[in-house]
């Protein structure tokens, strides 16, 4: 991304950090130019101005969801194809969990409207690490049979990302062969377990939001590693790939084995792959570093 693009993107984020609906709308049009998942055709002036009445604050997520906060609710409005898909999956998983032993984790209101979703306003955590441990313990309590990783990770996604990252063909084939032989325990998996996706409902009970990556037959340890990576990446002001490089180079997390970390790495680039969207060059450069320096750890 050029310096001009970065400035333009910052101006967009600056303008949407306002309580003035019209200025906010202008900021969306500017932000759309450099946001991977915000599409101009989805910015409906009339509908957006309508939901921006009497709001407290609003933001745009990394996947292109407009989040509008009110006193007692949050509106989730899709600003692109990716966000429509993720919101629909989130709602499907919310309904699914209501009929399982994990119904306590979705003990809040989430409703589907014609063009958006409305969620009950929840409270942020005061003790994120202890809360994460409780949630992870509940999800991983019942382990199922061995899981073939190919049932969750699409090898063609991995291949396409590695090709874009200029990884050597032999290394790509080695990774795909590794993927073919890999099995792990199956457990329910949130898929994006961070301190921001664990919240408190009105009863002060822990609940989960942003369920678009949730799977009842998920991969053991992914949630644990994801929480640790995201928690420390934020503390160190790095993206997750930069932190993975640090871990692989220094092994400063003894609780995470290199093989488990590489499985997480495969899972993460698989879910982030999107045919129509090219991410920033640094994303592919960091993937190349990981593959190039740590293939022998397979």
pLDDT in tens, 77-120: 999 999 999 999 999 999 999 999 999 999 999 999 989 999 99
Mean pLDDT of 205-224: 94
CA count, 13 A, side-chain hemisphere, 282:
8
Mean pLDDT (the chain) is 89
E strand intervals along 220-262: none
Q: Residue 251: what pLDDT? A: 65
Mean pLDDT of 273-294: 83
pTM of the model: 0.89
Q: Residue 66: what pLDDT? A: 97
Strand 65-69 and strand 57-60: the pairing is antiparallel
pLDDT tens, position by position, 145-191: 788 888 888 889 889 999 999 998 888 888 888 788 878 888 999 99
* pLDDT tier, 1 (very low <50, low <70, confident <90, very high otherwise): low
At 1 the three-state DSSP class reads coil
Q: List, in order of start, the domains of the chain with CATH numbers.
A: 3-120 (no CATH), 128-297 (3.90.1200)
State CA 40 to chain mean position distance: 22
Q: Which residue from 7, 45, 10, 42 is spatially nearest to 26, judged by alpha carbons?
A: 45
Q: Residue 112: what pLDDT? A: 97
Q: What is the DSSP letter of 187?
A: E
Concatenating the DSSP letter of every residue in 60-126 gives E-TTSEEEEE-SSEEEEEE-SHHHHHHHHHHHHHHHHHHTSTTGGGG-S-EEE-SSSEEEE--B--S
Paired tokens of 231: 């928690």
Q: Residue 249: what pLDDT? A: 79
Q: Residue 36: what pLDDT? A: 86
* pLDDT tier, 274 (very low <50, low <70, confident <90, very high otherwise): confident
Rounded alpha-carbon distances, angstroms, from residue 278 to 37, 94, 268, 281, 284: 11, 30, 16, 8, 10
* pLDDT tier, 262 (very low <50, low <70, confident <90, very high otherwise): confident
Mean pLDDT of 202-231: 94
Q: Residue 83: what pLDDT? A: 95
> Percent of the chain having pLDDT more than 70?
96
Kind and range of the H or E run holding 59: strand 57-60
> Percent of the chain having pLDDT more than 90?
57
Q: Does residue 253 carry a pLDDT above 70?
A: no
pLDDT tens, position by position, 5-47: 777 788 888 888 888 999 999 999 999 988 889 999 999 999 9
Q: Cα dihedral sign for 37, 176, 194, 204? A: positive
Q: Residue 174: what pLDDT? A: 83
């Amino acid at each position: 991304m050029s310096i001009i693009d970065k400035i333009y993107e910052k101006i967009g984020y600056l303008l949407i950090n306002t309580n003035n609906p019209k200025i906010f709308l202008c900021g969306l049009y500017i932000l759309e130019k450099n946001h991977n998942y915000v599409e101009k055709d989805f910015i409906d002036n009339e509908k957006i101005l309508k939901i921006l009445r009497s709001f407290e604050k609003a933001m745009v997520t990394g996947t292109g969801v407009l989040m509008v906060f009110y006193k007692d609710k949050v509106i989730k409005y899709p600003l692109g194809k990716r966000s429509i898909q993720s919101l629909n999956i989130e709602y499907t998983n919310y309904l699914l969990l209501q009929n399982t032993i994990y119904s306590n984790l979705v003990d809040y209101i989430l409703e589907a409207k014609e063009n958006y979703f409305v969620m009950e306003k929840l409270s942020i955590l005061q003790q994120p690490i202890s809360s994460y441990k409780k949630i992870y313990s509940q999800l991983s309590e019942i382990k199922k049979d061995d899981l073939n990783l190919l049932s969750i990770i699409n090898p063609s996604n991995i291949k396409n990302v590695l090709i874009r990252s200029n990884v050597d063909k032999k290394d790509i084939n080695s990774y795909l062969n590794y993927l073919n032989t890999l099995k792990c325990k199956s457990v329910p998996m949130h898929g994006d377990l961070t301190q921001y996706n664990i919240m408190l409902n009105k009863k002060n009970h822990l609940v989960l939001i942003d369920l678009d990556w949730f799977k009842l037959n998920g991969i053991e340890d992914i949630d644990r590693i994801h929480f640790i990576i995201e928690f420390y990446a934020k503390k160190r002001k790095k993206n997750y790939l930069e932190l993975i490089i640090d871990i692989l180079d220094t092994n400063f997390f003894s609780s995470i084995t290199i093989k488990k970390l590489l499985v997480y790495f495969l899972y993460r680039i698989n879910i982030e792959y999107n045919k129509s969207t090219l991410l920033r060059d640094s994303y592919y450069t960091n993937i190349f570093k990981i593959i190039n320096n740590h293939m022998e750890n397979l």
